[in-house]
Amino acid sequence: MADERTPRLTYFAGRGFAEPIRLALVAAGIEYTDNYLETRDDFLQLIKDGKLMFKQVPLLEIEGKTLIGGEPILRFVCRRGRLDGKTDEEKTKIDMLTMGAKDLAWPNIINSKFDEVQVSKEKCEEDIKSAFRECRQRYLPVFEKVLSESSSGFLVGESLSMADIMVFDALAYVKEIPELQPLLADFPRCAAFIEHFSNQPMIKAYLASPRRHPPTDTKHATDVCRILGWLT
């Protein structure tokens, strides 16, 4: 049962920077509550309360600490859950794959709907085309090769790590965005990895729950822009 000591993750009712954190909390077996920002006043109040170091979310309140930042929070949770690798070599490999997955997902895929709202539909389409090229040429070949060398089905070592969380987060967009989905036919190990990760018992339950949000659509991007004061 959630009480006031239960960790509280503040973000929008969508994936974005919060989703890898949610997946890590689930994988680490840490119970948490989602606090969704719904209005501009919700966001301004957090700033007034001094909770947002750089006036940005996500925010995780845990163990009496106020943590901010997608990656710092993700790393904190992964350390708590021992999802950050066992050896120096594993930790470094996990960090490199985590960076690659973030670079795949953020500039072109996750930002595309925000570009549609703030720039134009054409810009959004260009982002997705660019994402397709980057996936094919730069990122999916790497994930495919690393997975081909894995005996556990996970990217690094014998168990689930932060690398799996970030790569799953990125590949799930590839699977769910119709223009990107055909890529998976050429990268069967990436396709199998999505299934393998999704079938881990705690993750499976989470993905089937209403806490799992779909990729950002135009309405959600518009809501977020309003809350952040990016639309007049």
Q: Which residues contribute to the site for ligand GSH (CB under 6 A)?
A: 16-17, 55-58, 69-71, 228
Q: Which one, 102 or 196, has the nearer CB to ligand GSH?
A: 102
* CA dist., res. 143 & res. 152, Å (int): 14
Q: Which one, 73 or 174, has the nearer CB to ligand GSH?
A: 73
Structural contact between residues 78 and 161, judged by C-beta atoms closer than 8 angstroms: yes
CB of 73 to ligand GSH, least distance (A): 8
* CA dist., res. 199 & res. 73, Å (int): 24
CB of 69 to ligand GSH, least distance (A): 4
CB of 9 to ligand GSH, least distance (A): 12
CB of 27 to ligand GSH, least distance (A): 20
Structural contact between residues 201 and 195, judged by C-beta atoms closer than 8 angstroms: no
Q: Which one, 17 or 139, has the nearer CB to ligand GSH?
A: 17
Query: Shortest Cβ contact with ligand GSH: which residue?
Result: 56
For 87, half-sphere exposure in the C-beta direction (CA atoms, 13 angstrom radius) is 5
Q: What is the largest CA-CA distance in the chain?
A: 52
Q: Which one, 51 or 212, has the nearer CB to ligand GSH?
A: 51
Q: Which secondary-structure segment (H or E) carries 35?
A: strand 33-36
